[in-house]
Structure 1
Amino acid sequence: MYDLLVVGAGPYGLSIASHAAAAGLNVRVFGRPMASWRDHMPRGMFLKSEPWASNLSDPEGRWGLGAYCASRGVAAGHGRPIPLDMFSEYGLWFARNAAPPVDERTVTRVAPRTGGFVATTEDGETVQGRTVALAVGVLPFVEIPAALRGLSPDLVSHSSHHADLDRFKDRDVTVIGGGQAALETAAILAEQGSRVRVLVRADRLYWNEVPPPWERPWWQSVRSPHSGLGPGWRNWFYSERPGLYRRLPEPTRARIAATALGPAGAWWVRERVESGVEVLLGREVTAARATAGGVRLDTAGPGGGLGTLETGHVIAATGFKATRERLGLLTGEVRSTLVTGADGAPEVGRDFESSYPGLFLAGLITAAGFGPAMRFVHGATFTADTLVHGVRRRLRSGPAGWGVPAGRREPEPAPDAVRS
């Protein structure tokens, strides 16, 4: 029986596995490494976060994005967006060098058993573990507006459903949403020759500003410090102090998690949108139905004005909603016992353990507990270290301490080209 089963091999899962293996735990990690980034984001996109805030986490801090870029002769400087395909390759490099071997099969079911859990893989094999860390990313939590649900995937899709957008060349497409996914998707569509428009519920678009220089007068840094989520003290608190964030009252945490760092486009995509994409502000889809040519959308506009719009395909870049009920790989016995907060997400303790003993959660689904940083790669560092400490604590509380290892494995030496 393994000490820890890690379900998911994205930035959070790989980081947790790296810390767990270094702590001497007998760990097994499942999932196709970086699958969401490799298979569910169109070619041509860029990483919105700063390169220095986009590291996967190993205990020694030796396998960061900057080290990978340096080994490839690429500058990963402040204010220089990194292509998503390069970030995906970085994740694979991290998996090879800083994490235990990854079993690329998908776990389809996690059930309780005496002394722990049993995970079932897609081909029917069962694997037992004393503890489980779910690092399933965002894909289980896709959110599509109610008015669009029920229509064929040929007519309506989510922005995360596309590894590329080539099939929409020369077609009419409507993108719904005002965040980075919507705006960058629309820009790529326009640049490849699609007839595209963006439908935005808000009455304006919001754009992130060009980040201030890394080196600047001390008084500017004091007034608005850099952080993994952008400049400013509020962002600094969210990104650098998630342990303190968790001490806020639950209603406050839920409100901040739902509203902080709301939909906005990156500064470097603004010109591409404004020069080539039609933007319809203050419009909300109230109903949708299939037509001979695609989809007819009924919309409500400013002041209650109604309108209609016909399009060939709708891409809903409407984000994700992480709730207990969408953790479908957990058996009902486990899922139904998870205590949830006001937003429907499972509550987690100080070390990311859910209310079901031995079941740990990571990533987006913990944002209500630990703050907006959990929506970004930046949160993986705090999560991995804290969660593995929690796993060790849980193992010590098991029968006869379950033989918790005290040692740490020595990481392989980093290549000379990437030494820090």
Structure 2
Amino acid sequence: MIQPVAVIGAGPFGLSTAAHIKARGIPVRVFGDPMVSWRGHMPAGMLLKSTPAASTIGAPQPGHTLADYCAAAGIPRLATDEDIIPVETFTSYGEWFQRELVPDLERVRVVSVGRHPGGGFEVELESGELFPARAVVVATGLSGLSHLPPELAAAAADGPAPTGPVSHSSQHHDLTRFAGKELIVVGAGQSALETAALAAEAGARVRVVARRRVGFGAPPWHQPRLRPESPFGRAWSLWALSHYPHPYRYLPAHTRHYLARRVLGPLGAWWLRDRFEGKVRVEEIDRVMGAEAPDGTPVLTVRTRTGATGRLPADHVIAATGYRVDIGAMGFLGHGIRSRLAVSRGTPKLGPGYVSSVPGLYFTGLPAAASYGPVMRFVCGTGFASPRLTKHLVAAHG
């Protein structure tokens, strides 16, 4: 019996990779809850910052773009840079993509991946099933990677929680629970600013606390016209990072990590400005020095831009502080595998075709950003990653 490839994760990168592997006639088993992060860990009413061009999931054949889904679903076509995508529409698109191209998805959790005595890997499922796999693709998205700065952790002794004093932005789907409450949102990126705007619209009194100036991108009609287009805007650097990520992994490590984090970094979408300004207070600070919640009510201690120390009380604090890749947090990878993985600042070092230092073990999506650039933080990265990963897998394990 031919051993299958195991794909762990059913978000855009997992579904795209699985569709490409299936199209090459290779047995594949795909595990996860389709689009779970988008459906359960994004706030209701959220709009995507990315344009339609940056929001199509890479497929091995035509007919499965976001515009194709809109046509099939009978909803207005989303195609231009001025079209804004509701998260509910994008989630439905991903679920449609799954039904069309990965219909045999298994909605079961992978609990461990280890080496198989006969070569390859041994995968254990939550159901108790054990099976051998010739290769494993890790495409678990943002799951388990939410980042809570240590300065805020002291006020969340049992970890961030929606019902505790401090939470992470990924833990909120319904922001109406904060109606009438004093809410602090820590961060300056799209997640922070949109969470703040949605909470204010739900009736909360919201203050954004940020270490950098809060800003918003330029609308499409103000983008420079004499530069090449990319899914992220018109600029030579964005064009190169979007279409030619191949050389990225040869850059010095500090440069790769810096660019993966900072390119298209903290900035609100152009369409969010009118919903934010005048509705949300902004406190620009030098840094958060600490947090406490002795009676269950959080208080931030901050250093202001003038060097003074201030205390900011609230009913709840949301940390919109992003995600950090950490191989150590991927508990389903057995110790034997993790100990053999070459890593850089917690992220796997990937070679050609997205393969790790453990032959047959591949990573795609956010964990690949430090090796292939910031395009891997966005859905459109599937169009680059999936065919190249599949090509390498076929050559090495076909």
Pairwise CA distance, 1:336: 1.6
Which residue does the alignment assign to 1:285? Answer: 288
Q: Does 1:147 align with 2:151?
A: yes
Cα offsets for 1:78-112 (capped at 9, x unmatched):
11111001000000000011224110111121111
Pairwise CA distance, 1:352: 0.3
Pairwise CA distance, 1:250: 3.3
Which residue does the alignment assign to 2:253? Answer: 250
2:312 is aligned, of 309, 321, 328, to 309
Gaps of 5+ in 1: 215-219, 396-403, 405-420
Q: Does 1:210 align with 2:253?
A: no
SS at 2:220 equivalent: coil
Q: Does 1:191 align with 2:201?
A: yes
Which residue does the alignment assign to 1:414? Answer: none
Pairwise CA distance, 1:44: 0.4
2:333 is aligned, of 330, 333, 336, to 330
User: 1:251–1:147: structure 2 CA closer, same or farther, 3 Å change rule?
Assistant: closer
Which residue does the alignment assign to 1:119? Answer: 123
Which residue does the alignment assign to 1:357? Answer: 359
After TM superposition, the structure 1 = structure 2 runs for residues 408-419 of structure 1, keeping only pairs within 5 Å, are none
SS at 2:354 equivalent: coil
1:270 is aligned, of 245, 268, 273, to 273
Which residue does the alignment assign to 2:19? Answer: 18
Q: Contact 1:139–1:160 (CA<8 Å) still a contact in 2?
A: no
Gaps of 5+ in 2: none
SS at 2:285 equivalent: coil
Pairwise CA distance, 1:379: 0.4
1:133 is aligned, of 123, 137, 141, to 137
Question: Partners in 2 of 1:321 and 1:293 — Cα distance?
Answer: 27
Q: Percent identity?
A: 41
1:227 is aligned, of 223, 230, 234, to 230
After TM superposition, the structure 1 = structure 2 runs for residues 19-168 of structure 1, keeping only pairs within 5 Å, are 19-71=20-72, 72-78=74-80, 79-113=82-116, 114-150=118-154, 151=156, 152=158, 153=161, 154-168=164-178
Cα offsets for 1:133-166 (capped at 9, x unmatched):
0001012211011012251521111101112212
Deviating more after overlay: 252-261 vs 312-321: 252-261
Question: Partners in 1 of 2:317 and 2:363 — Cα distance?
Answer: 32
Deviating more after overlay: 285-294 vs 95-104: 285-294
SS at 2:174 equivalent: coil
Pairwise CA distance, 1:238: 1.0
Pairwise CA distance, 1:313: 0.8
Q: Contact 2:58–2:380 (CA<8 Å) still a contact in 1?
A: no
After TM superposition, the structure 1 = structure 2 runs for residues 378-389 of structure 1, keeping only pairs within 5 Å, are 378-389=380-391
Q: Contact 1:17–1:100 (CA<8 Å) still a contact in 2?
A: no
Question: Partners in 2 of 1:213 and 1:301 — Cα distance?
Answer: 34
What TM-score do you get using the length of structure 2 for normalisation? 0.94
User: Residue 208 of structure 2 aligns to which amino acid in structure 1?
Assistant: V
Pairwise CA distance, 1:293: 5.6
Q: Contact 2:181–2:205 (CA<8 Å) still a contact in 1?
A: yes
Cα offsets for 1:202-237 (capped at 9, x unmatched):
1x11211112489xxxxx65x322111222111111
Pairwise CA distance, 1:282: 2.0
Q: Does 1:182 align with 2:185?
A: no
Cα offsets for 1:265-318 (capped at 9, x unmatched):
001111111021011112422111114361111111113211001111111000
Question: Partners in 1 of 2:30 and 2:134 — Cα distance?
Answer: 14
What TM-score do you get using the length of structure 1 for normalisation? 0.89
Q: Contact 1:40–1:160 (CA<8 Å) still a contact in 2?
A: yes
Q: Contact 1:34–1:92 (CA<8 Å) still a contact in 2?
A: yes
- Give the root-mean-square deviation of aligned CA atoms: 1.6
Q: Does 1:201 align with 2:211?
A: yes
Question: Partners in 1 of 2:186 and 2:308 — Cα distance?
Answer: 18
Question: Partners in 2 of 1:230 and 1:239 — Cα distance?
Answer: 10
Which residue does the alignment assign to 1:173? Answer: 183
User: Residue 278 of structure 1 aligns to which amino acid in structure 2?
Assistant: R
Q: Contact 1:199–1:284 (CA<8 Å) still a contact in 2?
A: no
User: Residue 349 of structure 2 aligns to which amino acid in structure 1?
Assistant: E
2:371 is aligned, of 346, 369, 393, to 369
User: Residue 188 of structure 1 aligns to which amino acid in structure 2?
Assistant: L
SS at 2:134 equivalent: strand
Cα offsets for 1:26-46 (capped at 9, x unmatched):
000000000000010011001
User: 1:251–1:292: structure 2 CA closer, same or farther, 3 Å change rule?
Assistant: closer
